[in-house]
Amino acid sequence: MAAGGLKTYSVTFLPDNKTVEAIKGKSLFEAAVAAGVMITNVCGGDGVCGKCRVTVKSGRVKASPTMFLSREEIQRGVALACQTFVDGDAVVEVPVDSRARVGRQQATEDAIRFGRVSDHVGEGKAFRHSPLARKECLTLPPPSSQDNISDQERLFRELRRSAEIPIMQMGLPVLRRLPALFRHSHWQVTALLGWRGGATEVVDVEPGQTCALNYGVAVDMGTTTVVAHLVDLGTSETLATKAKYNSQARFGEDIITRIMYSSTPTRRTEMRELLVGDINELITGLISDAGIKPHDITYVTCAGNTTMTHFLFELDPNQIRRDPYVPVALLPPVVRAAEVGITVSARGLLAALPSVSSYVGGDVVADVLVSGMTQSQDVSLLIDMGTNGELVLGNSDWLMCCSASAGPAFEGGGITCGMRATNGALERISLRAGGHVEQFEVVGKGKPVGICGSGLIDLVGELLRVGCIDRTGSFLPEACDGHFRVGESGDREFLLFKHEETALGSEIFLTEADIRNLIHTKGSIYMAAETLLDEVGMTFGDLEHVYIAGGFGNYLRVDRAIAIGLLPDIPHETYEFIGNGSVQGAKMAMLSEEAMAYIRDRIAGSMTAIELSTHHKYMNGYSATLFLPHTDIEKFPSVVAEQANGASTEQGREKPLAIANRPSR
């Protein structure tokens, strides 16, 4: 049991039945990571989110005190994995709702959903097909005494017959292969040209004619989900799509927690390897589905928020979270994919979409490209609701953007019974008077496990409509027909589903704190939009289009989002869902050097980033948004009209809650 003087113990995790040796004093969370068991957490192990509940079935542990557990739970052996430490051999059960959910089946379903929506949006619009990696099949004239230029120049000359390439590079490994290659292939070769920013690289040269085999992978590096599309670079066809959860989530569901974790070079290597491991797993699945070889994948483009891009290249993200929020690089170099560990062709290239600032990344830049908003004089607003919220306002002449620090409420973070939009998630609900459930829908059918973002919006909107909460988000117990209670720790709660009505036998309920979290999230997004418009002297009525991006957007019901004040009260036809703009934009960039240059120069390069946390208008207006839908109900005429038509439970104007401005970032 002794290793290097330190006591180690066996810790077994159920139901996986995975055992790991852990040094005395390690947290159960760290032991679980070492065992490959993914426990959900939002706070990165600080003991403040209460998400990583486990049950110690037997053995010795030491636990720090926590307010997240009741006396009864502690007696049953329930513990927070990040606050409980190994002190002997132990057996620990990880309940279903504490597990970071990863599954191929679900991932594939996600990919299909993402794909379905984004098919409607202007993929490749207006950009000439000129992929970042292109193959040229060449028949070189054999040398003669009249034409005995070098092998390198012979290749360059032939490549320049079709187009002038000002700066052509070729590495020694390829140059060294030329003489034998040319002569053995009888001067029939295929050259692979790769985009290297300003220069073109002869990435590889192969014998024979292999032009038909040229594939690329576009990746959306989401904080929560990693999505990859396999593309035929010759035909632009998408051959396969895959998605999986971001394995970095074990070190925090939100990006700030992950940045805090990444404080040492070793940990940054670990974070890169987790992300790249996910990308490689997706690529393995994609090539298996499409029946191609990794060698024939010649280019990879990745879009993600600025921090995810830092993780990909193993750049230190720590200044991103510290005032004045400075990234290492917004436009990282084009490198060989192998340099970060991505397993495609050994000489294949990797480019990340450029970011705009520490909190507006390549994913948003990709959204803008996909939306087409920069190709029209119409003023459009784009809202990307991921784990964080980003907004872009503008048209073909100007672009402004900001990050709204929405927080992870829409993905289950900070919500007692919250979860991501996976199997078992309540995604849609209607209530009737008294707060009784009338109708509901669960992702994957069956009994519910928890509440995902769209379900939360529906639920709060319905509670408001039927009068169970007031416009501050406080419960009105007399209107909650038996659903209201005060919990053990004094929390005011609304019981939605009893033990026997849920998939896992755990009650599903909503607390006032949950509602406050949602209100902060929707308020920050709404206020960010209003602030951006105000910067250019416009109002919501001036918007011709509002584009909603992000996986979340696929499930969102516009009327409910307006009812709670998340989205402005403008005609529903103004709204357009672009789905996963990040992966679509990464794909468009990969298929067109023009699009890549456009992204760099016309989108990322010309976008003005507004910092909301120090913005006077935002600071002043934010508290007014912490009402349902808003302090000023006149901003939401359709809500007023609905209340006039239905059973109004309006309680009049009340003081909003005073909340710190940058709640979760």
Residues that bind a copy of itself (CB under 8 A): 143-145, 147-153, 166-167, 169-172, 175-176, 178-180, 197-199, 313-316, 318-319, 323-333, 335, 339-340, 357-358, 611, 614
For residue 70, the minimal CB distance to a copy of itself (Å) is 44
Q: Looking at beta carbons only, is 2 or 172 nearer to a copy of itself? A: 172
Cβ-based nearer residue to a copy of itself, 336 or 630: 336
- How many whole angstroms separate alpha carbon 71 and alpha carbon 378? 59
- Least distance CB 556 / a copy of itself (angstroms): 32
CA distances from 47 to 50, 301, 400 (A): 6, 36, 37
Is residue 224 within 8 A of residue 386, CB to CB? The reply is: yes
Scan for tokens 């009068």, then name that residue. Answer: 467
> Helix, strand, or coil here: 463?
helix
Least distance CB 144 / a copy of itself (angstroms): 6
Whether the Cβ atoms of residue 351 and residue 101 lie closer than 8 Å to each other: no
Least CB distance to a copy of itself at residue 265 (A): 8
Report in angstroms how near the CB of residue 383 gets to a copy of itself at its nearest: 24
Comparison of 320 and 508: residue with beta carbon closer to a copy of itself: 320
Identify the burial level of 61 via C-beta atoms within 10 angstroms of its C-beta, where 0-12 means exposed, 13-18 middle and 19 or more buried.
buried
Q: 20 - beta bridge partners?
A: 11
Count CB atoms within 10 A of the CB of residue 565.
28
Choice between 155 and 287, CB closer to a copy of itself: 155
Shortest CB 321 distance to a copy of itself, Å: 12
Minimum separation from the CB atom of position 325 to a copy of itself (A): 6
The residue among 178 and 218 lying less far from a copy of itself, judged by its C-beta, is 178
Decide whether 312 or 479 has the Cβ nearer to a copy of itself. Answer: 312
Residue whose CB is less far from a copy of itself, 324 or 490: 324
- The smaller minimum CB distance to a copy of itself, of residues 193 and 459, is found at 193
Structural contact between residues 106 and 113, judged by C-beta atoms closer than 8 angstroms: no
Grouping H, G, I as helix, E, B as strand and the rest as coil, residue 594 is: helix
Q: How far apart are CA 360 and CA 362, in angstroms?
A: 7
**Nearest to a copy of itself of 109, 316 (CB atom):** 316
Complex with a copy of itself: residue 126 or 149, whichever CB lies closer: 149
CB of 318 to a copy of itself, least distance (A): 7
CB environment 394-414: b (16+ within 10 A), e (fewer): bbeeebbbbbbbbbbbbbbbb
Which two three-digit tokens encode residue 593? 């050097």
CA distance 507 to 489: 16
Pick 147 or 481: Cβ nearer a copy of itself: 147
Contact 306, 386 (CB under 8 A): no
Shortest Å distance, C-beta 535 to a copy of itself: 16
Compute the distance between CA of residue 528 and CA of residue 547 in angstroms, rounded to an integer: 15
Angle, helix 151-162 to helix 172-184, in steps of 10 degrees: 90
The DSSP result for 386-406, as a single string, is SSSEEEEEE-SS-EEEEE---
Place of tokens 């239905």: 646
Closest by CA to 91, choosing from 25, 16, 6, is: 16
Nearer to a copy of itself, 101 or 615 (CB): 615
Rank residues 299 and 497 by Cβ distance to a copy of itself and give the closer one.
299
Backbone angles phi, psi at 50, to 5 degrees: 65, 20
Length of the chain: 665
Tokens 């569901």 sit on residue? 253
Tokens representing 30?
């760290």
CA–CA separation, 592 vs 177, rounded Å?
29
CB of 324 to a copy of itself, least distance (A): 4
- Cα–Cα distance between 542 and 526 in angstroms, integer? 15
Q: Least distance to a copy of itself from the beta carbon of 601, Å?
A: 14
Strand 199-207 versus strand 168-170 pairing type: parallel
Choose between 62 and 184: whose C-beta lies nearer to a copy of itself: 184
Tokens of 299: 């280019």
Q: Nearer to a copy of itself by C-beta: 262 or 388?
A: 262
How near is the Cβ of 186 to a copy of itself at its closest, in Å? 15
Q: Which is nearer to a copy of itself, 166 or 537 (CB)?
A: 166
Helix (H, G, I), strand (E, B) or coil at 28: helix
Instruction: Reduce the DSSP state of residue 348 to 3 states and report it.
Output: coil
**CB of residue 194 to a copy of itself, shortest distance in Å:** 14
* Residue 152 C-beta: closest distance to a copy of itself, Å: 4
Q: How far is the CB of 147 from a copy of itself (least distance, A)?
A: 8
DSSP string, 543-589: -SEEEEESGGGGT--HHHHHHTTSS-SS-GGGEEEEE-HHHHHHHHH
Minimum CB separation from a copy of itself for residue 327, in Å? 5
Q: For residues 370 and 362, what is the distance between their CA atoms, to the nearest angstrom?
A: 12
Alpha carbon distance 41, 56 (integer Å): 18
